[in-house]
Amino acid sequence: MSTAAAPPSLRWWEEIRPHMVVIAYFCVLLLALSLQNRGGDPDFWWHLRTGQWIVEQGSIPQQDDYSYTAQGQPWIAHSWLSDVAMYLLYRYVGPFSLPLLRSLLHTACFALLLKLVWERWPRLGGSLSLILLAFFASAKFWLVRPNSLSLALVILLLYLWHRYKYQGRDTLWAIPPLMLLWANLHSGWIYGLLLLGALWFGEAIALFVPHIWPDLRPLEKSRWRRLGLFSLLSVPTLLLNPYGLHLLIYPFRYWLGNITLHTHYVGEWLSPDFHQPSNLLLALLLLLLIGGLAWRRSGLGPAETMALLLFTGLSLRSVRAAGSAIPLLAWSIAGLLGQGLAPSRSNPSRRGAWPRPKQQRTWLWYGGSLFFLLLLLLPIGLEYAHWGQQDGFLGENPDLQQAASVILHLPQEARLFNSYNMGGYLIWRLYPQQRVFIDGRADLYGDDIFAQYMRVWRTDSSWAQVLESYDVQITICERDTALATLLLESPSWDPLYLNATAAVFQKAP
């Protein structure tokens, strides 16, 4: 059968496009892979408790009440809207809905990224391979917690700019309401502002000093001003949140305030360890970008380069930023390997289309493809349901669950020392009967409390004095830690509960 190009007026349902079916099956593969990402995150649990608190109290928390070390201190629940949504889903739909929706969001965002990549590099096999590489490289950042929404919104913002610059489709009006929503979903809105600022600044270079850094398709001055206008309008919309100006200052406190100590110890704040397989994939993307630049030699446009430099620098400083940098890397690599600086104006999905087949054959093709697609989804859904029944959809550790139950039966006035990674779950299980020493809300505790925590956790010579100063009567930590070994040998502490994961101790009378 001939594979000549079909007339442009034909819609996808009027002709057979094999590439579209391949992409549909590829998206099912991405969904199946995303559903296998089942690592629990300790911060999820305090997010869930915060959503419950907001729903039950009918207000947004302004002060901490989960810990006794920072109780009453001002606290910004920067992801309050996400927390409420997660709790409502958990309560009224069921725990299964949270990892499922996270996987659907993950898949949908990379399907959108595939569209951008394929338009720049219209080679189906190459584009699918690049997306799969980026998918694996960023998988560990797509968690059942609000940060996944920030990752999705970075891709959406990139899509809006891509349409505006390369396709002339002006949807910049969507940026201010998008940033308004973002400001109430997660503190990652700062990535959105940084991306807009980098793109605007890069377009200014291309517009005003083209002899220094040319761009094959620079924005006209009016369109550059329009990009700046809607980017600037995004700033006041960020103030429409329960914390006002304090939320705008919040992200900078991690670097300019008194909460920097945790960035030397907490994994997501450290620079990427390239001995880990997932970080090796990030390194591979960086090497592909360098290779593409050497091959093309013409380089990238100023706007694209500014965004890449900014987010690559952020991700090398702190691995948590790599989740936002990886889509930018994949998109830029596609531009270098494909059409250079400008994406193709043609519709790559129409390549290889069968022109004007009979209607019955068209519906048979798409109907059969849909049938086999559903056949693939069936075992994926059954396996997901079986996993949830066996292990729980939210990764609730049964050993830690039992340890928390032991603490619930102890006197409520007895103060608790807990490990950093257990704090979020203990807030979910023990509040308000017990309050924690510390949890993942590093912005709340500051360097002073975190330093005292580390003195105990590292079993420094003053560890006992720290516990005495807070009148700690109960300690819970991971079973295989130095602290657990020390407490087992100490005559001042009695073991109450020990299992493969957790150890609970009580101060000896």
What secondary structure does DSSP assign to 459-509, as a single string? T-TTHHHHHHHTTEEEEEEETTSHHHHHHHH-TTEEEEEE-SSEEEEEE--
Model pLDDT, residue 16: 62
Split at pLDDT 50, 70, 90, the class of 21 is confident
Q: CA torsion, points 78, 80, 82, 87, in degrees to nearest 10?
A: 140
- Mean pLDDT, all residues of the chain: 89
Contact 175, 213 (CB under 8 A): no
Higher model confidence: residue 275 or residue 177? 177
Model pLDDT, residue 401: 93
Higher model confidence: residue 492 or residue 338? 492
Average pLDDT of span 20-27:
90
Model pLDDT, residue 258: 56
Split at pLDDT 50, 70, 90, the class of 138 is very high
Contact 439, 66 (CB under 8 A): yes
Residue 165: how many CB atoms within 10 A of its CB? 22
Least confident window among 6-15, 238-247, 471-480: 6-15
Least confident window among 299-303, 347-351, 435-439, 474-478: 347-351
How many Cα atoms within 13 Å fall on the side-chain side of residue 365? 19
Model pLDDT, residue 2: 41
Least confident window among 249-253, 314-318, 422-426, 500-504: 249-253
Whether 496 has a pLDDT exceeding 80, the answer reads yes
Model pLDDT, residue 342: 46
Question: pLDDT (tens digit, 9 = 90+) per residue, 202-224?
Answer: 999 999 998 888 888 889 999 99
Question: pLDDT (tens digit, 9 = 90+) per residue, 299-334?
Answer: 788 999 999 999 999 999 888 899 999 999 999 999
Average pLDDT of span 28-50:
93
Angstrom distances, CA of residue 17 to CA of 3, 26, 275, 343: 10, 15, 42, 21
Model pLDDT, residue 212: 86
Model pLDDT, residue 246: 92
3-state secondary structure of 10: coil
Cα-Cα-Cα-Cα dihedral sign, residues 171, 173, 174, 175: positive
Two tokens, residue 162: 């891509």
Split at pLDDT 50, 70, 90, the class of 12 is low
Model pLDDT, residue 341: 42
Does an H or E element contain 254, and which?
Answer: helix 253-256
% pLDDT > 70, the chain: 90
Question: pLDDT (tens digit, 9 = 90+) per residue, 62-113?
Answer: 999 999 999 999 999 999 999 999 999 999 999 999 999 999 999 999 999 9
Question: pLDDT (tens digit, 9 = 90+) per residue, 140-168?
Answer: 999 999 999 999 999 999 999 999 998 88
Split at pLDDT 50, 70, 90, the class of 345 is low
Model pLDDT, residue 343: 52
Average pLDDT of span 243-259:
79
Whether 6 has a pLDDT exceeding 80, the answer reads no
Question: pLDDT (tens digit, 9 = 90+) per residue, 172-194?
Answer: 999 999 999 999 999 999 999 99
Higher model confidence: residue 217 or residue 239? 239
Contact 47, 82 (CB under 8 A): yes
Does an H or E element contain 44, and which?
Answer: helix 43-57
SS (H, E, C) 326-392: HHHHHHHHHHHHCCCCCCCCCCHHHCCCECCCCHHHHHHHHHHHHHHHHHHHHHHHHHHHHHHHHHC
Split at pLDDT 50, 70, 90, the class of 139 is very high
The CA distance from 505 to 423, in Å, is 16
Model pLDDT, residue 109: 97
16 DSSP assignment: B
Model pLDDT, residue 5: 44
Model pLDDT, residue 347: 60
The residue written with tokens 């915060």 in the block is 50
Average pLDDT of span 265-288:
86
Average pLDDT of span 271-292:
89
Angstrom distances, CA of residue 187 to CA of 84, 160, 305: 15, 21, 24
Q: Where are the domains of the chain?
A: 19-350, 398-507
